[in-house]
Every structure is written in structure tokens, then in C-alpha cells.
Structure 1
């Protein structure tokens, strides 16, 4: 670490809570799939803000949309209508093949909104006795970090020391339809799942699992809520990861890429029989659906409507997984590779280093990734990355894993 970088890192740590452990790189500029630090060194971004930057850094369409809106109006609160709101809700609902949109800001807010929606629907529509609603979730999930959400996390680091925990959730193994079937009761109002578990290490469920969830929830009169905050909006090669198995949930939870890496934008999208349970004053957000957010998100929707980014994720995803497959075959450094589209989790043999150590060695070679669960690294470059840059980044990974340290 150079003195300039060390000084910037030390200054950041001096007055910032240590709830993150960033890699020691201090970014000053970024464009497309590349970031530049305060000393002018360039790094290939292979994380893309956990899919928040699906369309790359500084995407011109998104930046221009934001600039134009900044000169008009940025915030009204939902006390009033504004002229971007109707178009945003209409087009997002159409993109999802649904009817109604409830906009929020962050992914965790959208998940909280989905939980509240499901419970209210359970009481008002399904007829569950007051205070008895249950939501089934999967082990190793990641849906955010609010008190309620960590209450149904199985990750000790995410959950420890935040009790007392919110009741009303049943946890079953991810990918296990038998356990899910046994967990459903007359008081179950929803099943909340990630179609691909991102934070767990890009875990793709067994074939037939999502259709099975859809069938079970229909049979039992339960809402199927798909958290597509990381997996959605082009990342897996489809607009939504659920589409890979022809599944349409009752509710989508969206975030991250919906704001294009410019502003936080999230939303719950569903049908009127579900979102219609809300009445004025029962739920809200000062910034949710603000004009600036809607303007940027409308451009994101336009990018997705073209289909270009879904095609890129599919084509580049084949290239990514082919290269990782070869790497796994050639030696003992890679224990497993998982993923879908331009998204992969790579389990590294601990003798080659922890996920953090692998990430640091890649950083030294100009590639930025993030570890999870000790020995796994995640690869999720922006969908705008070129074939040449993708190959270059994967070559650096090959170098790092070519021999034990």
C-alpha cells in the first residue's frame, strides 16, 4: 500500500464505523467496467456493486437522465404527484408483467415492504387470525440488514447481538421442496426466496425447485415472493432469474440495478389484489418514488426493454463459465463453480488462501472482486464489460490460482 493510499484509508477509518472491511483501494473515478484510484491506477471492476452497476459506471444514458432531472425537480414527497411517477409505475409494472408498483429506496426497505404486504394480505384477504401470520424463508438467505430481516438470517455475523428478534418466520433448507411443503400451514402467508442466492455464494437452486415452489404456493393459497434485488434486471441473462424456469411469482422485490448505480431505487411489484391491501397512511417513504429516482429508473427500464443487456449477460456468461470450468479442471485450486449468466461463485481450496487473501492478490493485479463465506469469491462484472476485458480479468484469476502462496 502506498503512503497516499494508506493515508486515505487511515483517514476513512478514523471517523467511520467499522461495519465494513474494504479492500485497501481508494476509488476516485470510474467509467464502464473500470475504476481508477487516487493515484491513477486502474482496476477492472468484477463486482459491479453487488449488481447495482449492471449497466456500468457512468452510463451516459443514465447520467444524462439524472442531469436533466436535476434541473427540473428532485423531490416532492408522496404528498404530491409528479410528472415522472405515472410513467415509472406503468413501465415497471409492464416490464414485470404485473399491475401495481410500490416504490421505495433501498433493497432492505423493499423487503420490509414485501413482508408488511404479505402479512396485511394474509389478514385482510386470506383470513389468517391477527398476529398469527407466518412467512417461510430459506436458510443461508440474504435479504438485507434491518432488525426484522436479520431475525430470519442464518448468518451468525449478520444476526448476532441484535435481539430480541422479530417472530413470524420459518426457515427451511434452500432447494428442499419436501421441507417447504411440511412448513406450510394455514397461517402461512408467503414464501420469500432468492431465485439465486447471491451472498451465500451464487447458489443456483436444483432444476425444478422454483416451479415446485410456485405449485406449492398456489395449492396452499400462499404468496410467492421473489427477491430479485441481486439476481434480477439482466444479471443472469434474463430480465428476472425466475424466467429461466418459466416461473412468475406473485411479487417481485427489486433494487440495486433499478437505480443504475446513480441513486438508490427499489420497488415491490405485484397485482392489485395484493398491493391493493394498502390504504393511505398505512405505509410510506419520504424519498420513495421521487422524481430523480423515477427519471433514472425509467432509463434503466428502457435499457432492459431493448433486451441488449440480457443478451450480453447470456453471451458473456457462457464465456465466463467456460473459462472457470477449464480452471476447475486444470488443477486443485478451484473446488466448485456455480452461477448463471454473468455471475459466478468460485470456491477456492483453502490451501491457496482465504477468499479475502485471493481478493487482495487480485487487487494487486488490477482486478477487484469480493469474498464471501471465507473461501468463496464472487464474480459479477458490469454487463457492459468487453470480451477482452473479461478475458483479461479471468487471466489474472488464473495467475493467482496457479500456485499455492
Structure 2
């Protein structure tokens, strides 16, 4: 059944609340503009409650949750055991900076890092702080100014992480670029010069090792290369195995550190504990967050090799609420549940289903440009039908996402022509299949209706928001 989204209760909250926040002064005007173009109002969800694989909005609409708290709820929404662990930690410790759970968790994390090779740890509150901590750690250890990151990468929204991210998140901050060097990332689509994906990957590696030292920064002033082993916010792009191994080799040859930002890809999202394990590489520094504390408390951190964090007197990081008792309790319980319930083995079953179902979509639907899967890091790119004018491709992604939302599945489509999905790693198999079926039905509907769009993007299944 198609839902009315937002419903009356959600509309009342939005009308009262949106003027208080970012772009609040232009919200009403944008809604009217979208309506004049033929778009239905933005399908914004106002969450009332969440449990397991589902969320309900304030108008009691129920959704299968493929958005997953922006990939922070690895074992479902509001897991009762984690909530209980957090509650007990609050009762026992309140908030104090030093407590035994910090040490217990650091030991457990060391034991699950790739090849157990990163035994040192520093706590942070968010993935943003952890990413900043990682590249500052590398600079201090190497006593060098530059860190290389990649186009379309996203490491956070603070001043520092905006500078080192490749997404367009730093308007008017061009003068702050400092030691950031942005290299091309080998996307698997829209590849230039008719290259194959492998050729493009080779070009990006050549740029990294030869172009940057020759034309941009001396190689002896480069501290590290920071890479997401799955370009998440940029659209869930999956690098080739040769690309990650190539970065590791380049870092070794040039005495650079390799930093893996696994805030979103880590702790099981790709069916292995760490996405780098698919590529047979071990980074020198590993950034983590999101899944670490089961979606209940803010917690992140950085693991590093002994020498990098064990003897680095120039480095300092962390903050008041880094490694809180409640956050550490949540993480300890999350890791316990992973092991007890064989969460990663279950995620493999879900990933196999996704591959079987979604692998057919590129052939079946003209608007589906590319399906990308690395375990449960799931992305679909959309395009206009071949006989249509140069409409923006994101109109089709937004239309599909809107149709999904109105028929009961919550996924992400923000800045790009992509829809991204991050289901819980332990999602019920039947629920997962139902969510994919609803998504495919939405794709089929927009694929049919897209043939009748004509010269205008303003067809009634569109969506003004995300």
C-alpha cells in the first residue's frame, strides 16, 4: 500500500522545526517550486520508534530499514542487550574519563585488527574525529606535511576533514587546503578515455606514485595515503583488488604510511571484519566508528602499528567524551554478539541473496546503470533512458528512492545519481528479500514511467528531497 509521506503529524513537526535549522528560510519556497514542477513533496521520514529491521514514523508508517542509521546499527535498531549494557554502565560509572572498560575494549580491538598487526589504539567520539586523528598521527610520526586522499572520498564534516575529503564539501575554504593532496579514485563507471576499469585503476596508481611527487609535492614530504576500501558516501564504489594492493606497494616503496578509513566499511559491512581483508593488505593505521558501538552510543577510534602510536611524542588527540563508559560498554556487547550469533556468517547469506537478485537489474531495467556490491555495502547508479534528453540522472535515482519510501523501504539517495543501502548485518532473511522485492518493483515502475517523461523531468513520481 502506498503511504502518504510525510503524513500530517510529520508535516506539523517539519513546519515547526525546519525554520530553526539549515536552509530553514528557503524551505517553504523550495516545496512550492517543486510542486510547480510536478514533484510530490519530499518524502521525509520523522522517526517515532525503531526496532530490529524496522522503523516507524510519527504517522505510524512502517518501513524496512535499509538506511540503518546511516550504517551505524549493525545488528538492528535499538538492540535491547546493548541498551541494557549502556544503562548498566551509566548507573555504575556515570561519566568519567578513565575506567576499566577502556582498556578491555582496546585489547579486544587489537585482537580483531587485520592480522592482529595494529595493537595500539586511541579513542575518539566520531568517525570525523578519528579520521582527523589518523592523518595527524601520520604527519607527526613521519614529520611530514602532506597526506594524499581521493576524489569523492568523505572523511567528515569538520574543518580538517572537509579539507582532506574529495567530495564538494569545502566551498570557500580553498585557502585552507594546506597539506591535503586529492588524487583521482578509479570509479567503475564514467571512466575517461574509453579505458577499462583495470586501465583506469593503473592510471590512478601511476598518478599517485609519479605525477604527485613530480608536480605537486616532494615524495619525502608525504606522510601517508588515506583511502576508503569502499568509497561509501561517494556512492558505494568498490575498488579493484589491484588498486588497494597497488597503494600498499606504493606506500612501501616510498616510505609512506597507508591509512584505511573504515568508519563505514569496517566491522562487518562487507562480510569481513574489515574491508581491507578482501584485498589482502594490512594498513599501517585503521580508522573505525559507526558499527563499533552497535548504533547506541557515540564511539570511534584509530588503531595503529606499535611504532606509530607507541612512540609518537608530537601526536595528541582524543577529547572529553572519547571512550565513555557507556560507549565502551556498547562496543564490548556488540563484539560479544558478533561472535556469539555468528553475525558475519549471516551477513554472507544476505550478501549472496543480494548478488543473486540485484545482479540481474542492469540487464532488466534501462534506468539501472550499474549495481555495486561488496557484501552489504550496496549501491545502484541510475541513468536516463537512452532516447531521452540530457536530464539529470539523479532525477531517476530520487524517483526510485521516493517510490521505495512510499511503498515501505527506507534507503539513501542524497547528492548523487545513486541509491545506497546499508541493511543490518543480521537482518531477517525474509525481511531482506521483501525489501529487495519492493525496491525492484519501484525500479520497474519508474523504468516504465520514464519512457513517458518527454522533455521535462517533472513527472509525478519524482521527489524533491532525499
Partner of 1:399: 441
Q: Which residue is equivalent to 2:267?
A: 233
Counterpart of 1:181 (choices 190, 194, 209) is 209
- Deviations 1:33-81 (Å, cap 9, x if unpaired)? 100111222111112122211111011221121121121013112xxx3
Question: What secondary structure, in the 3-state scheme, does the structure 1 residue paired with 2:318 have?
Answer: coil
Q: In the alignment, does 2:255 pair up with 1:243?
A: no
Tell me the residue number matched to 1:257. 291
What secondary structure, in the 3-state scheme, does the structure 2 residue paired with 1:192 have? strand
Give the structure 1 partner of residue 366 of structure 2.
Answer: 332
Q: CA deviation at 1:23?
A: 4.2
How far is the alpha carbon of 1:165 from its aligned partner?
Answer: 1.6
The within-5 A match list for 1:202-351 is 202-279=236-313, 282-306=316-340, 308-350=342-384
Tell me the SS of whatever aligns to 1:354: helix
CA distance in 1, matches of 2:136, 2:165: 17
CA deviation map 1:101-149 (0-9, x unaligned): 10001000000101110110012xxxx4xxxx21111111111111122
**Structure 1 CA distance, aligned partners of 2:225 and 2:263?**
16
CA contact (8 A) 1:362 1:368 kept: yes
- Are 1:367 and 2:409 an aligned pair? yes
Write the distance in 1 (CA, Å) between the matches of 2:318 and 2:383.
Answer: 47
Find the aligned partners of 2:373 and 2:302 in 1 and give their Cα distance: 25
TM-score, with normalisation over the residues of structure 2? Answer: 0.80
Retained in 1: the 8 A contact 2:156–2:165? no
Aligned equivalents of 2:241 and 2:331: distance in 1? 32
Q: Equivalent residue for 1:116?
A: 136
Match of 1:14 among 19, 28, 33: 19
Aligned to 1:41, which of 61, 66, 75?
61
Q: How does 1:163-202 map to 2 (within 5 A)?
A: 163-175=174-186, 176-182=204-210, 183-184=212-213, 185-202=219-236
The CA distance in 2 between the partners of 1:227 and 1:266, in whole Å, is 11
The 8 Å contact of residues 196 and 203 in structure 1, kept in 2 or not, is answered as yes
Could you tell me which residue of structure 2 aligns to residue 160 of structure 1? 171
> Residue 33 of structure 2 aligns with which residue?
none
**Separation (CA, whole Å) in 1 of partners of 2:90 and 2:410:** 31
Q: Which residue of 1 aligns with 2:191?
A: none
CA shift, 1:372, in A, is: 3.8
Which structure has the greater CA radius of gyration?
2
Structure 1 portions without partners, runs of 5+: none
Deviation at 1:359, TM superposition (A): 1.8
TM-score, scaled relative to structure 1:
0.92
State whether residues 356 and 374 of structure 1, in contact with CA within 8 Å, keep that contact through their aligned partners in structure 2: no
1:86 to 103, 125, 130: 103
**Alignment CA distance shift 1:302-1:280 (3 Å):** farther
Shift of the alpha carbon at 1:318? Answer: 1.4
Structure 2: runs of 5 or more not aligned: 1-5, 28-41, 187-203, 214-218, 386-392, 451-466
CA offset at residue 373 of structure 1? Answer: 3.8
Looking at secondary structure, tell me which structure has more helix per residue.
2
Structure 1 window deviating more from structure 2 (299-308 vs 49-58): it is: 299-308
